[in-house]
Amino acid sequence: MISPRALAPLLSYLHGLRVAPDPSLRYAITPLDEVLESYRVFLEGERGLARATVAKYERLARVFMADVAGPDGIVVQELTSGHVTGFMVRYCAGLNPWSAKGMVVALRSLLGFLHVAGHVSTSLVAAVPSVPGWSQSALPRGLDTMKVTALLDSCDRGTAKGRRDYAILVVLARLGLRSIEVANLRLDDIDWRGGELIICGKGNQVEPMPLPTDVGDALADYVRHGRPRGPSRALFLITRAPWNGLTPMGVREVVSTAGKRAGLDGRVGTHRLRHAVACDLLRRGAALTEVAQLLRHRDQRITATYAKVDQAALVALAQPWPGAS
């Protein structure tokens, strides 16, 4: 489902070309649109969530409402726990635990809002089933140096798109940023003289990071020879008009496409580059506290998972097998 608000930029552009209907004609706004719009305002104003998180929650809310409505439609006031559990069973079939948990969090947020705002008489939050999963059960899947080099070499730096993709990959491979942090970068976040890059991280936390020479060179090459000129202050732009800023999904697509070009096995995502940065630091003798500082982890327990791939430290801790010679 696509909201009227999401279509507004496209309709404005088409109207300017005189190929769209007169914007003075009013289109009916459904009660569901009004509920979801008030939910978006709640997420932004009351919860203070980041823009990308709000967009994700709103999208998943539309998926849920479209699913439970069915061909005959359903009003919000008629929602029951059966609708909730039935949707989760259908939606989560075939999903990995992390994707399913993302829907659990988003759906509980929506149902909590519907109750607080008076759209449903009883809270249905408890009707959302939990997704089984065990934290720290998997090993971080990074990329070795040769594979990172292959990713970078796959970019055609003779083209504007290649310069952009190369700069994105260098930023990810050297600084370990998240996809949303790369998408949030703006031209004003680069301090060329001071050698710093301002990062807007989780929870809208703003932190400066050192700008390595190779990262600065890649960014300068893109800004001077690859970035389209236009009003947007976003650092990384899409490669076609109207040259808007690249989204977090767009950043992930850049990495995934580069992995396919390089012939790498398995799915290559931004977090594998983030893991690669952490694993490389440990191999070079960095402490977990230093890894946490670079990755900007607020919870040290998240960083502790990298201890499982610190082979030198694990060998020192290993005890001889009783009776072994």
Q: Does domain 145-312 have CATH number 1.10.443.10?
A: yes
Cis peptide bond upstream of 242, omega within 30: yes
| Candidates 62, 164, 178, 252; catalytic one | 178
Which of 299, 306, 301, 293 is closest to 207 using CA atoms? 293
Task: Identify the residue whose tokens are 């719009």.
Answer: 37
Is 178 part of the annotated catalytic residue set? yes
- pLDDT of 289: 73
- pLDDT of 31: 76
Mean pLDDT of successive 10-residue stretches along the chain, which has 325 residues: 61 64 57 86 88 87 82 70 90 82 92 91 90 62 82 95 96 90 94 92 80 95 93 92 89 94 86 81 71 68 58 55 63
- pLDDT of 320: 67
Q: Where are the alpha helices (DSSP H) in the chain?
A: 4-16, 31-45, 51-69, 81-92, 97-116, 145-153, 160-175, 179-183, 213-225, 248-261, 270-283, 288-295, 300-303, 311-317
Whole-angstrom Cα distance, residue 134 to residue 307?
17
- pLDDT of 1: 47
pTM of the model: 0.64
Q: Which two tokens stand for residue 27?
A: 């289109």
| Candidates 15, 202, 260, 298; catalytic one | 202
CATH 1.10.443.10 intervals, the chain: 145-312
Query: Quick one: 17 exposed, middle or buried, by C-beta within 10 A (0-12, 13-18, 19+)?
Result: exposed
Whole-angstrom Cα distance, residue 64 to residue 57?
10
Is 202 part of the annotated catalytic residue set? yes
- pLDDT of 48: 84
- pLDDT of 108: 94
Class of domain 25-127: mainly alpha
CATH 1.10.150.130 intervals, the chain: 25-127
Is 174 part of the annotated catalytic residue set? no
